[in-house]
A and B are shown apart, each in its own frame.
Chain A
Amino acid sequence: MAESEVLRAPHRIEYTYTRSVGPIIGAFLTGLRDGKILGATTPGGRVVVPPTEYDPITSEDIGELVEVGPSGVVTTWAWTDTPLPDQPLDRPFAWALVQLDGADTGMLHAVDAAGPRAMASGMRVTARWRPAGERIGHLRDIECFEAEGAG
């Protein structure tokens, strides 16, 4: 049998599941829906964003949640030339770790920029929010970040 007689067909595997988010991530997502970014305060005084349920270094319970951002600094980034379906932007963009003002850790998100030359570690960016009515309590409630002053 010739190679050309081999059958091919498009297939899709899809498994959407719903998970409970717990009190800390739940508060973070509720904050996003309300247009606020929350971080977790560790006993050592660091602020972790997105918040964890425990101190990532000492494993102690975290303290109160505090508001951070919505602006911050790009600590490191990678350019994406060909975005995949369902990624935050449908045009080339940067994945970046953004250390929000008041936070001690970087949060991964997309940065909308004209090109890799418009990106730099140390650049200041600010969150571009979805309209309040479209926010559902998801990291995508922040559409992406953009250079501060660009919006």
Chain B
Amino acid sequence: MSEPVTMLETPIRIDYEFTAGLAQSRYLKGIAEGRFLGQRCPKCGKVYVPPRGSCPTDGVPTTDEVVLGNTGIVTTYCVVNVPFQGQSIELPYICAQILLDGANIAFMGLIQEVPTDEIRMGMRVEAVWVDKKELGPTMASVKYFRPSGESDAAYETYSEYL
């Protein structure tokens, strides 16, 4: 007689079609061209990236498109040391909130080409893209961010985005 059953695998899966919507479709087409597109709120002037098509504060459409820089600031970060299922990046790696130049909201990005004990708040980083012919409307077009070599941003320049 074999061993008693003590564990059970429970698969949970959902297949669906994701519709990006107008604003994110614009954003993803910008990504396919190797640039970050944001949208500015006509009322408060804040620039959102990725854009959702409206300002969460003012509730108005953000129709004004803004081309953002390829560089930004690490506002905060996390060094990932714990393996998990489906992981594709070699441990340890750095996951950071990045405030792109010209944007008023940070987004999450992978940081590479820096030892994990050298990452810090305020570090200036730049996006590294895949080869031009591999660019597509997917975030996989941005390979990662790496230190740009510029001096760190002063805390006051990003403190309101933490």
Contacts and interface: CB of A to CB of B under 8 A. Distances in A.
Interface in A6-27: 6-21, 25-27
Interface stretch (B6-14, B38-46, B110-118, B146-154): B6-14
Contacts of B85: 15-16
Contacts, number: 88
B13 A12 contact: yes
Chain B interface size range: 20 to 34
B4 A15 contact: no
A1 B22 contact: yes
Given A18-B7, A26-B4, A6 B13 contact: no
Contact of B12 (A9, A17, A29, A137): A17
A14 B8 contact: no
B130 interface: no
A1 B17 contact: no
Interface string A114-145: 00000000000000000000001110000000
A117 to B, nearest CB: 33
Interface string A50-89: 0000000000000000000000000000000000001000
Contacts of B28: 7
Contact of B14 (A1, A13, A136): A13
Contacts of A33: 2, 5
Interface string B8-42: 11111111111111101110110000000000000
A14 B15 CA distance: 8
Given A5-B25, A7-B20, A7-B25, A15 B12 contact: yes
B26 to A, nearest CB: 7
Interface size class of A (residues with CB under 8 A): 20 to 34
Contact of B18 (A8, A16, A17, A29): A8
A12 B107 CA distance: 22
A120 B12 CA distance: 32
A7 B13 CA distance: 23
A138 to B, nearest CB: 7
Contacts of A15: 12-13, 85
A16 B11 CA distance: 4
B8 A16 contact: no
Contacts of A105: none
B7 A11 contact: no
Contact of B24 (A7, A21, A30): A7
A14 B7 contact: no
B17 A12 contact: no
Interface of A: 1, 5-21, 25-27, 29-30, 33-34, 86, 136-138
17 contacts: A5-B22, A8-B19, A9-B18, A9-B20, A10-B16, A12-B14, A13-B14, A13-B16, A14-B86, A16-B85, A20-B7, A21-B6, A26-B5, A29-B8, A33-B2, A136-B5, A137-B8
